[in-house]
Structure 1
């Protein structure tokens, strides 16, 4: 949608994603394709009648409606050059790519063309897709070094081990396969105003992709917090269980000791085991933690008559 930069209305949002690189239709590195020829015999760029002109500097018409301009000036970043006399021919800068004359008063246009001519292209190393050559990619090695080793500017040799751990020895193929999985991933349910069954590779609306990324990022953060809380509760429960086990073992042994004469009564308890080899003084009926954990399953022990 439209936005503003210093009060000027303009599009500030990213366009839809496409499979093909966008190219400007008119602006090139040398000039403006289709720009008007700069030559002017009197009426090519404005009316030859000064009463109908927008750019007379001295008459009570156009820009000079309330008084004479008094001196020459430029308009539209130097594209128009308005002379100080009423009968002067309007001059325009030659913005055509094939123009050879310097644009002395239209430097802003020259800067625009120069910027377009020097911008990076898909063939430049910084913009080349090097997924297939990740094993030797300096940028990928630097990224892995920062993430896994807390070091920047590491080379492919220094990050070889971690690269192989993450992507196997066929790093490029693994990464390409992963990108294919992402491209073909279909939403299991309606998500962020995107219908179930929609494949990620089908989505071109940048705002839609941003909303999905935010949704899943938030879901990961929320799930991680839930798992951390569950782990915290489990650790707390484990500590309490250990304390309870150590505290109750002695009490349970006392209960087992009450049945040290009768093997039937002893083995009937979920946490007691009768050992006939023990003396009467040491109690034949013993607390058995293993039997207790097995929830009443009898623990086999050698017994003597």
Structure 2
């Protein structure tokens, strides 16, 4: 009888314990299985996007030592709109020089590229970064908002670059007046009234003979460096500085210098007068 009671008790315990164990095991399998499935699905999606980016980079790689401009037609035809939306921002972030016009509407079907020579080694380095997953966080960023959010900034910088290319690069230093920089006649006609307002302060700051060669011509290397500096924003303060405000600050600075010089002059006169008085007192004492 005791054995039968123990068996019955054991049966009763397992009758409610087994469902709990089964439920726990099922929950674990469901949780980890679901997580694994989601991870697998996400990883597959990322790998597909990486493959799209590599496909685009291989288009550029095939044109090594040629200009990115020459790749535009093949790039736009080889990648569909969905693929471009997924990878173009990432490609731009790692160095592909897409060019967005400040005059025309944004057209994802016909993306433009800058006139820059393609370096095969740079493309290979980009491909490695993509394949290692270092750019995964840059995929699927909205392409329209990314390229149009800084439209005004890009427009202003383009005016600055235009000034360097159309005016500064074609200016000369006078032989008879080594500190005088002369621009081409009517240079301002290449700019609209609004563009002139943007470059007035920049023009003053670039009036520096260090940008020119000993023969008086603009230094091509320094002009390229200057354009690059404008592109990355080093000259933004001058491009966005209103000419009237700049002139007011210069006038205040000049006035402060005049006052300072006058005060210093008066102080020097007072010191000289004091020295003369002391010498006169010494002479009188000697007599």
TM bucket, shorter chain: under 0.3
Could you tell me the TM-score, scaled by structure 2's length? 0.26
With a CA cutoff of 8 Å and minimum separation of 6, indicate the structure with the bigger relative contact order: 2
More helix by percentage: 2
More strand by percentage: 1
